[in-house]
Amino acid sequence: MKTVENGQKVKVHYRGTFSDGEEFDNSYIRGQALEFKVGAGEMIHGFDSAVSGMTEGEKKTITLTPEMAYGDHRADAVQKVQKGAFPADFEFEVGEMVQGNTPNGPFVAKIAALEEDEVTLDLNHPLAGKELNFEIELLEIQS
């Protein structure tokens, strides 16, 4: 029986949930399996490691700490920006995602708070600081 090794391309289905059972992602619902090269840094570390050693048709459930997933929530990734940095007709809404460009490149952030002249942006990944559960089904080892 063939098992997954680093460098092989695989196809998996998965369901991701938080510790309280709330689902945050599900490839079954999308109807599209995930394909990636194991060990190539294309996936979060814990997910990548969990697939290594699996056999086709195998299912497993894993729990990842923030360190094995998207890292801890970093306070230094929360920044205040003047509202004037946005287009004049921009409609600010707490919790909404925004995209922009800086001299350091593009970014995606969540609007965390609003003040009269400033907006607080959270540049952390939305899943940073969270423990994540995954149900993984290995569909195919492609190479």
Same domain, 134 and 116: no
Output the six-digit token pair for 103.
């001299």
Strand partners, 119: 81, 114
CA-based Rg of the chain, rounded to a whole angstrom? 19
Whether residues 86 and 41 fall in one domain: no
Same domain flag for 113 and 84: yes
For 33, 61, 88, the CA distances from 140, given in Å and listed in that order, are: 10, 17, 50
Q: Residue 20 sits in a domain of what CATH number?
A: 3.10.50.40
Q: Is residue 2 domain-resident?
A: no
Q: What per-residue confidence (pLDDT) applies to 105?
A: 87
Specify the 3-state DSSP secondary structure of 66: helix
The Cα–Cα gap between 14 and 128 comes to 19
CA distance 15 to 11: 14
Question: Do the strands 105-114 and 97-102 form a parallel or antiparallel pair, or are they unpaired?
Answer: antiparallel
> What's the pLDDT score for residue 100?
86
At residue 101, the pLDDT reads 84
CATH number (domain holding residue 84) = 2.40.10.330
How many CB atoms are closer than 10 A to CB 86?
14
What pLDDT is recorded for position 3?
A: 95
CA distances from residue 132 to 4, 80, 84, 85 in whole angstroms, order as listed: 22, 29, 37, 35
- Domain of 83 in residue numbering reads as 75-122
What's the confidence (pLDDT) of residue 70?
96
User: pLDDT tens track of the chain, all 143 residues?
Assistant: 899 999 999 999 999 999 999 999 999 999 999 999 999 999 999 999 999 999 999 999 999 999 999 999 999 999 999 999 999 999 999 999 999 888 888 989 999 999 999 999 999 999 999 999 999 999 999 97
Q: State how many domains the chain has.
A: 2
Same domain, 67 and 132: yes
